[in-house]
């Protein structure tokens, strides 16, 4: 192999080496096509640019499939209670002096709500009609009084607020756009007021937690304080 000293020109990739190392696409590859073919067979042939693009696409695909990175919908029913929003309280006073508070509750209905008696039968019946028809809104009538347990967590019954024989007023099923999960989707939303005679613990909860998420269960009871 020729050795060049100080002041001499740059090395020639072909003439200055007994066995040139040939990289596809280099000057040596142009001068020695046979060696270029051997190098391509040995090292695979794709260019560095192509390799980089493929690696980037693979990396992106792998990144999309990493467990735990996908958006997961939170459970809507847990420990027998349904997740909902306590929209606002409604305070009322009758001529005789009796005071009442209505808890306005709102929730998007899912297939999980269509089992195990989570909702009053009349609401389930009208919900089925809405799903099978073209109605955008149904004002539900004839819902019996219900006993409702409301909590800020699903698994602490000791701290639940119990609304005994609450009158269910203005129950409405409506098709709406829901953006709560960050993505807009069409859902059927149930909204109603559970009305009971005002007590201090009811008013305290109503004032301190309106607008908060709640967990609640609902069960039919006989009679209503408001029907007397």
- The three-point CA angle 198-202-203 to 5° equals 80
| Residue with token string 């059927």 | 188
pLDDT tens readout for residues 166-202: 999 999 999 998 776 667 788 999 999 999 999 999 9
Q: Of 218, 220, 219, 216, nearest to 76 (Cα)?
A: 216
- Element containing residue 193 per DSSP (H, E): strand 185-197
The model's pTM = 0.65
The confidence band for 35, taking pLDDT boundaries of 50, 70 and 90, is low
193: Cβ contacts below 8 Å, ≥ 6 apart: 90, 102, 103, 104, 105, 168, 169, 170
pLDDT tens readout for residues 95-109: 999 999 999 999 999
Q: Is 26 helix (H, G, I), strand (E, B) or coil?
A: coil
Q: Kindly list the domain boundaries of the chain, sorted by start residue.
A: 1-67, 77-227
Pairing of strands 146-151, 77-78: unpaired
- Element containing residue 214 per DSSP (H, E): strand 213-220
| Residue with token string 């109603």 | 192
More confident residue, 131 or 193: 193
């Amino acid at each position: 192999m020729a050795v060049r000293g100080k002041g001499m020109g740059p090395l020639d990739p072909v003439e200055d080496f007994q066995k040139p190392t040939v990289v596809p696409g280099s000057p040596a590859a142009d001068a020695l096509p046979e060696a270029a073919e051997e190098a391509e067979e040995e090292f695979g042939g794709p260019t560095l640019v192509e390799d980089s693009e493929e690696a980037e696409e693979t990396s992106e695909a792998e990144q999309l499939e990493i467990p735990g990175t996908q958006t997961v919908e939170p459970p809507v029913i847990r420990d027998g209670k349904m997740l909902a929003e306590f929209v606002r309280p409604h305070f009322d006073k009758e001529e005789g002096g009796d005071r009442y508070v209505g808890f306005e509750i709102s929730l998007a209905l899912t297939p999980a709500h269509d089992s195990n008696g989570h909702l009053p039968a009349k609401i389930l019946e009208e919900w089925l009609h809405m799903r099978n028809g073209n109605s955008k809104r149904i004002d539900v009538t004839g819902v019996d009084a219900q006993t409702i347990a409301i909590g800020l967590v699903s698994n602490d019954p000791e701290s639940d607020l119990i609304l005994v024989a609450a009158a269910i007023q203005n129950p409405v099923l409506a098709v709406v756009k829901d953006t709560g999960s960050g993505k807009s989707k069409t859902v059927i939303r149930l909204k109603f007021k559970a009305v009971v005679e005002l007590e201090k613990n009811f008013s305290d909860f109503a004032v301190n937690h309106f607008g908060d998420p709640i967990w609640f269960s609902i069960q039919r009871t006989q009679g209503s304080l408001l029907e007397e």
